[in-house]
């Protein structure tokens, strides 16, 4: 029983942090190095492939496969699989896009925000999949890429509707600047930083930080379980039950966080686009 639990715990770890530098059975906590695993292919080049890239590639293939199968097997009376996919699609369309942008404006952005939602959800969930154990969003590249996509989308939406001059005027010069022009010297730089820096940075950092924190908590719980179960002596072995329960709780919590981060990122994307369509803020 002990060996079976130990094997399951090992599967939940990206690496076993139980060996000390001297080669003993000391407890070594997770480090930032977990998010920068060694290269597997093309080391030292722009095309370097490591474990996180493999996770992203596998997740992308699985995600595309799921939707291709759902589309090809679609029936008038849906089964459980089709119903689950349709429920999530409707959730994104109605509870995020239409709720924020309205049906008329929102129809144009349904494909984009749906792609963002499902991509983030899939890449987040890999953090709790045995054998993968790392979120595809736990390194800055992917969150930043999605945030820049959102930024380009709300620029494009605002400029398309109001023109470049109209969009910059509405975004950088709030109505209060018309009444008190001198305030523009203070407000306009703040608005510029918000549009060009704060919005994409907040999207990136929020997603990245949550997934990094979740990974560290998971590794701490399961590493502690492995250490207490297999290497501790006497009564200390009983602590493995506590850390194992904590690891299971964190795993379930990480699933919730993965969904919430996909929801929040998509919701903010829709909100930023909606703000860019307003003629006055």
The CA distance from 97 to 113, in Å, is 7
Pick the more confident residue, 14 or 248.
248
State the CB neighbour count (10 A cutoff) for residue 164. 11
pLDDT digits (tens, 9 = 90+) for 98-127: 999 999 889 999 999 999 999 999 999 999
Contact by Cβ (8 Å): 141, 262: no
pLDDT over threshold 60, residue 1: no
Pick the more confident residue, 271 or 45.
271
pLDDT over threshold 50, residue 17: no
Please give the average per-residue pLDDT across 75-87, as a whole number. Answer: 83
State the CB neighbour count (10 A cutoff) for residue 24. 9
pLDDT digits (tens, 9 = 90+) for 143-179: 999 999 999 999 999 999 888 888 888 888 877 777 7
Number of structural domains, the chain?
1
Least confident of 68-77, 86-95, 214-223, 242-251: 68-77
Contact by Cβ (8 Å): 134, 52: yes
pLDDT over threshold 90, residue 254: yes
Helix axes 51-72, 110-125, angle to 10 degrees: 130
pLDDT at 190: 87
Nearest to 214 by CA among 154, 127, 88: 127
pLDDT over threshold 90, residue 236: no
Task: Report the b/e string of 221-239 with b at 16+ CB within 10 A.
Answer: bbbbbbbbbbbbeeeeeee
pLDDT at 34: 80
CA distances, 216 to each of 194, 221, 245, 259 (Å): 30, 9, 16, 18
pLDDT at 131: 83
Q: Coil, strand, or helix at residue 267? A: helix
The CA distance from 269 to 63, in Å, is 21
Contact by Cβ (8 Å): 276, 233: no
pLDDT over threshold 50, residue 270: yes
What is the average pLDDT value for the chain, to the nearest integer? 84
The CA distance from 245 to 15, in Å, is 20
Domain hosting 53: range is 2-277
pLDDT at 231: 72
């Amino acid at each position: 029983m002990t060996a079976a639990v130990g094997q399951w715990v090992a599967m939940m770890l990206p690496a076993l942090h139980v060996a000390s530098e001297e080669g003993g059975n000391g407890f070594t906590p997770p480090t930032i190095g977990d998010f920068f695993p060694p290269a597997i292919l093309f080391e030292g080049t722009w095309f370097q492939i490591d474990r996180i890239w493999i996770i992203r590639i596998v997740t992308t293939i699985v995600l595309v496969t799921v939707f291709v199968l759902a589309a090809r097997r679609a029936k008038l009376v849906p089964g459980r699989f089709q119903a689950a996919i349709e429920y999530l699609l409707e959730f994104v369309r109605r509870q995020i896009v239409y709720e924020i942008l309205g049906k008329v404006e929102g129809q144009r952005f349904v494909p984009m925000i749906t792609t963002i939602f499902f991509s983030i959800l899939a890449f987040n969930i890999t953090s709790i999949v045995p054998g993968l154990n790392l979120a595809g969003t736990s390194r800055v590249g992917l969150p930043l890429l999605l945030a820049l996509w959102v930024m380009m989308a709300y620029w494009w939406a605002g400029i398309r509707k109001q023109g470049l001059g109209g969009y910059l005027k509405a975004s950088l010069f709030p109505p209060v600047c018309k009444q008190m022009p001198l305030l523009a010297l203070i407000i306009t730089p703040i608005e510029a930083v918000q549009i060009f820096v704060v919005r994409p940075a907040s999207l990136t950092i929020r997603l990245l930080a949550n997934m990094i924190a979740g990974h560290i908590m998971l590794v701490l719980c399961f590493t502690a379980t492995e250490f207490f179960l297999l290497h501790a002596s006497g009564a200390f072995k009983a602590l493995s039950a506590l850390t194992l329960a904590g690891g299971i709780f964190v795993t379930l919590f990480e699933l919730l966080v993965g969904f919430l981060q996909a929801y929040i990122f998509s919701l903010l994307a829709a909100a930023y686009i909606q703000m860019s369509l307003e003629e006055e803020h």
